[in-house]
Amino acid sequence: MAINVRDTRIAVMGAGAVGSYFGGMFARGGARVTLIGRPAHVDAIRASKLFLDTVTFQERIAIDASNEVSAVRDAQFVLLCVKTLDTEKAAQALAPCLSPGAILISMQNGVDNVARIRAATGIDALPAVVYIAAALPEPGHVKHSGRGELIFGEYANPASGRTKAIPNRPEIVAELCATAGIPCRVSPYIEADQWTKMLMNCAGNAVTAIAQTSFAHAARNLQSREVMRAVIDECVAVARASGVQLPDVDWTEKGVKNAESLGEATSSTAQDIARGKLTEIDSLNGYIVRRGKELGLPVPVNLTLYALVKLIEESAAKRARPVTGSA
Amino acid sequence: MAINVRDTRIAVMGAGAVGSYFGGMFARGGARVTLIGRPAHVDAIRASKLFLDTVTFQERIAIDASNEVSAVRDAQFVLLCVKTLDTEKAAQALAPCLSPGAILISMQNGVDNVARIRAATGIDALPAVVYIAAALPEPGHVKHSGRGELIFGEYANPASGRTKAIPNRPEIVAELCATAGIPCRVSPYIEADQWTKMLMNCAGNAVTAIAQTSFAHAARNLQSREVMRAVIDECVAVARASGVQLPDVDWTEKGVKNAESLGEATSSTAQDIARGKLTEIDSLNGYIVRRGKELGLPVPVNLTLYALVKLIEESAAKRARPVTGSA
């Protein structure tokens, strides 16, 4: 199946920074893209197009935008970019509208979205791993500050009874990306690739969120560096015990180096906390805690980080209260 | 030795909320007390006395105040109330001024101040455990919101070569407190009493500081409650491995109940963080981390809490920086 981005119909469900960036890139390549997102973002795009403010170009992109899930109708590809908090809700909302033969791609953090989508709707989504630094500083404006590549692949051990309606999905989607100029690759080990990003997220997101600081600072501080290493050790143990074929590399070293390389950027989790929003922590350190319990593996550092982010989420609303001191 | 508070000469080194409260109580009982503290506090006291605003009375107390360490000269009792960050510095500053026969009492958090004072100055301080909820809402004004009792005792295993110049120190100081109406007791197991408070501090202070919330909230949240229990388990293991004769009670249960009983109050660590000040974390979870390493005991939850508080202390100054996002 030869595919070209020109006139391909694509919908982005959950057009925040990541979804709007990739939707915008596909539209720039000639696809007919609809971004489904929040009213303020949709209104801004309808009024003044999508402003793609990237490290290599700034451009206003003509693109459709909608508040309605029904806009996924007719799309050949649907990029699911909602936060992992909303995976089931979004999948259930779009399921009745999804064209037969459409490919639903989970562009989300974490390692269990495809399973959750299947459990909620029966739909077999294609897993993708996304590496990008991007933000929405204001409605209609995507600020891209680094990377922007994708990895696609089918799981080696699909759930039993699962049928794939479309063969070669990763190759089809990769070809689409290639014609749109989006760097990507097809991986025979997508589960390991998802876990690779998961390790980095688990190591850096909660720590930077809790301290409201940058990845580089968290990696530089001797104590938090040790915590990041301990998180990764716990996550690698959980991954291996779950049967994930992680390459045999020094993950703790890799994790710290990765955080250093991210410099003064901070995590999406840190941004959520700063804005008083719920985070994806249940899909990151929280997932490790649940799996650790199932597997009988102790994950005390992940537990601590998870608990603190949950407590901070809860207490954000209570910050204004007067407090009395205790020695 | 019969002692009465009337005309007893007492100095308080480090007159924050705790030192000013007890100094004020002794002065109210008739002692000649000098509070040594920060200029704004000293100025306020010189101008309008010390305002003791307690749960049972409000009263302006006539009391001396000074910025100078030399004001400990002639004191028969010196209450050391500086933060544990300043233990050595304060002990070294007061050592040349201390009267022969004066009793130096460490009213500080943590379990190693007496050893640190001895290492820095050769002075054998008397350990005290302080239970109080108090704050300094403004210079010259002590807001007391609960408790206010003291425990004194000599260590069962004093450092080798140590000589006690004064026998029955705990009893003398307890008698002094009794005549001033300050609830106190003498403990034959002061080390265990210090560790009891240490367990509570390690369980609650960092968590409430990191989430900027109350003890009760931290104890109520299911995840952070689990973290508090894990902290206590680690601390009890370190205490027992250090030879501390902790009573055989359910410390995790006791710790959670204690946090619940503290209600909407928050910790001194949380207050320090809120004010952008350095905390005493090196003497709390940080001490457990150091002892755990020396003893070969894993203390991952204490390590994580310690690291996060250190990182927050460091990052507080950097909060104003703009940050870019990363998925």
Determine, for residues A308 and B311 on separate chains, whether the beta-carbon distance falls below 8 Å.
no
Contact at 8 Å (CB) between A228 and A256? yes
Determine, for residues A311 and B226 on separate chains, whether the beta-carbon distance falls below 8 Å.
no
CB atoms within 10 A of CB A276: 11
pLDDT of B5: 86
Give the dihedral sign, CA A94/A196/A202/A52.
Answer: negative
Contact at 8 Å (CB) between B117 and B55? no
Average pLDDT over residues A306-323: 77
Smallest CA–CA separation between B299 and chain A, in Å?
9
**Is a pLDDT exceeding 50 seen at residue A173?**
yes
pLDDT of A4: 82
The residues near A182 (Cβ < 8 Å, ≥ 6 apart) are A22, A25, A26, A29, A148, A149, A150
Smallest CA–CA separation between B309 and chain A, in Å?
8
The DSSP H or E segment spanning A185 is strand A184-186
| Radius of gyration of chain B measured on its C-alpha atoms | 20
Average pLDDT over residues B125-138: 95
In angstroms, the CA A187 to CA A124 distance is: 18
**By three-state DSSP, how is residue A296 classified?**
coil
Residue A32: strand pairing partners:
A9
**Is a pLDDT exceeding 90 seen at residue B255?**
yes
Average pLDDT over residues B210-236: 97
From chain B, pick out residues whose CB is under 8 angstroms from the CB of A311: 207, 210-211, 213, 217-218, 221, 223-224
Higher per-residue confidence, B316 vs B27: B27
Burial (CB < 10 A; 0-12, 13-18, 19+), residue B165, is: exposed
Smallest CA–CA separation between A249 and chain B, in Å?
23
Confidence category of residue B105, pLDDT binned at 50, 70, 90: very high
In angstroms, the CA B212 to CA B265 distance is: 11
Q: How is residue B66 annotated by DSSP?
A: E
Of B158, B149, B157, B243, the closest CA to residue B197 belongs to B149
pLDDT of B316: 81
Closest alpha carbon within chain A to B223: A307
pLDDT of A5: 86
Q: How is residue B233 annotated by DSSP?
A: H
User: What is the interface pTM, i.e. ipTM, of the complex?
Assistant: 0.90
pLDDT tens digit sequence for B281-319: 999 999 999 999 999 999 999 999 999 999 999 988 665
Name the residue facing B211 among A133, A211, A315 (closest C-beta).
A315
**Is a pLDDT exceeding 60 seen at residue B323?**
no
pLDDT of A158: 66
In angstroms, the CA A236 to CA B222 distance is: 26
* Residue-level length of chain B: 327
pLDDT of A7: 85
What value does the mean pLDDT of chain A take?
Answer: 93
Average pLDDT over residues A2-31: 94
User: What pTM was computed for the model?
Assistant: 0.92
The residues near B246 (Cβ < 8 Å, ≥ 6 apart) are B192, B195, B196, B236, B239, B240
Closest alpha carbon within chain B to A18: B327
pLDDT of B154: 96
In angstroms, the CA A203 to CA B287 distance is: 24
Only one residue has tokens 């009391």, namely B63
The DSSP H or E segment spanning A170 is helix A169-180
Phi, then psi, of B13 in degrees rounded to 5: -95, 115
From chain B, pick out residues whose CB is under 8 angstroms from the CB of A223: 303, 306-307, 310-311
**Is a pLDDT exceeding 80 seen at residue B321?**
no
The gap from C-alpha B232 to its chain's centroid, in whole angstroms, comes to 19
Determine, for residues B303 and A223 on separate chains, whether the beta-carbon distance falls below 8 Å.
yes
In angstroms, the CA A308 to CA B262 distance is: 19
Q: Which of A91-100, A118-127, B263-272 has the lowest mean pLDDT?
A: B263-272
Contact at 8 Å (CB) between B111 and B189? no
Closest alpha carbon within chain B to A200: B327
The residues near B325 (Cβ < 8 Å, ≥ 6 apart) are A17, A133, A134, A135, A143, A145, A265, A266, A267, A268, A271
From chain A, pick out residues whose CB is under 8 angstroms from the CB of B145: 324-325
Closest alpha carbon within chain A to B19: A327
From chain A, pick out residues whose CB is under 8 angstroms from the CB of B215: 326
The residues near B156 (Cβ < 8 Å, ≥ 6 apart) are B188, B189, B191, B245
Smallest CA–CA separation between A100 and chain B, in Å?
30
Longest dimension (CA), chain A: 70
Determine, for residues A133 and B324 on separate chains, whether the beta-carbon distance falls below 8 Å.
yes
| Radius of gyration of chain A measured on its C-alpha atoms | 20
**Is a pLDDT exceeding 50 seen at residue B161?**
no
Smallest CA–CA separation between B286 and chain A, in Å?
10
Name the residue facing A325 among B130, B265, B301 (closest C-beta).
B265
pLDDT tens digit sequence for A206-262: 999 999 999 999 999 999 999 999 999 999 999 999 999 999 999 999 999 999 998
Smallest CA–CA separation between A183 and chain B, in Å?
16
Confidence category of residue A325, pLDDT binned at 50, 70, 90: very low
In chain B, where do the E strands start and end?
9-13, 32-36, 50-53, 58-61, 64-66, 77-80, 103-106, 126-138, 141-152, 184-186
pLDDT of B319: 57
pLDDT of B3: 79
Give the dihedral sign, CA A119/A121/A124/A125.
Answer: negative
Q: Which amino acid is at B113?
A: N
Closest alpha carbon within chain A to B214: A323
pLDDT tens digit sequence for A35-78: 999 999 999 999 999 999 999 999 999 999 999 999 999 999 99
Name the residue facing A132 among B221, B227, B327 (closest C-beta).
B327
Half-sphere exposure of A178 (CA within 13 A, CB side): 12
The gap from C-alpha B18 to its chain's centroid, in whole angstroms, comes to 8
Q: Which of A38-52, A80-94, A145-159 has the lowest mean pLDDT?
A: A145-159
Confidence category of residue B4, pLDDT binned at 50, 70, 90: confident
**Is a pLDDT exceeding 80 seen at residue A163?**
no
